[in-house]
Amino acid sequence: MLKNVNIEDIKNIALKAGQIIMEIYNKDFTVEYKDDKSPLTEADTKSNEFICKALEELYPNIPIMSEENKQVDYEIRKYWEYYWCIDPIDGTKEFIKKNDEFTVNIALIHKDTPVLGVVYAPAIDKIYWAKKNEGAYLEVLGARCEVLSKNKLPLTDQKNLKEKITVVPNIGFSREDRNRHMHRIGHLIKTLQNNSVSTFASFVSPYRESRKAIRDMVKNNVVVYVKADIETCKIRDYKGVYKKALNGELQNFTGISDVYEEPQYAEIIIDTDKVGINEAVNIISRYIKNNYVK
Q: In this predicted structure, what is the pLDDT of residue 118?
A: 95
> Is residue 163 predicted with pLDDT exceeding 70?
no
Structure confidence at residue 144 (pLDDT): 82
pLDDT at 155 over 80: no
Evaluate if residue 290 carries a pLDDT over 70: yes
Say if residue 137's pLDDT is above 70.
yes
Question: pLDDT category, 158, cuts 50, 70, 90?
Answer: very low
CB-count burial class (<10 Å; 0-12, 13-18, 19+) for 247: exposed
What Rg do the C-alpha atoms of the chain give, in angstroms?
21
Neighbours of 92 (CB within 10 A): 21
- Look at residues 238, 199, 246 and name the one whose alpha carbon lies nearest to residue 221: 199
User: Rounded to the nearest 10 degrees, what angle do helices 42-58 and 7-25 cross at?
Assistant: 160
Mean pLDDT over the full length of the chain: 86
pTM exceeds 0.85: no
pLDDT tens string 83-103? 999 999 988 888 898 888 899
Instruction: Find the distance separating the first CA and the last CA of the chain, reported in whole Å.
Output: 36
What is the rounded average pLDDT of the residues 241-262? 89
What's the one-letter identity of residue 145? C
Enumerate long-range contacts of 284-293, CB under 8 Å, 24 or more apart. 284/224, 287/222, 288/222, 291/222, 292/220
Q: What is the pLDDT of residues 24-83, one digit of tens each?
A: 998 888 888 877 677 888 999 999 999 999 999 999 999 999 878 887 887 888 888 999
Alpha carbon of 294 to those of 286, 288, 289, 290: distances in Å? Answer: 13, 10, 8, 8
Q: Which residue has the higher pLDDT, 10 or 93?
A: 10
Residues with Cβ within 8 Å of 62's Cβ and at least 6 positions away in sequence, in order, are 1, 55, 82, 83, 84, 108
pLDDT at 157: 47
Q: How far apart are CA 146 and CA 169, in angstroms?
A: 24
Residue 211 or 36, more confident: 211
Strand order of the sheet with strand 135-141?
64-66, 82-90, 103-110, 113-121, 126-131, 135-141, 147-152
244 Cβ contact partners less than 8 Å away, ≥ 6 residues apart? 250
Per-residue confidence (pLDDT) for residue 123, from 0 to 100: 92
> Which residue, among 103, 91, 168, 92, has the nearest Cα to 136 in the 3D structure?
168
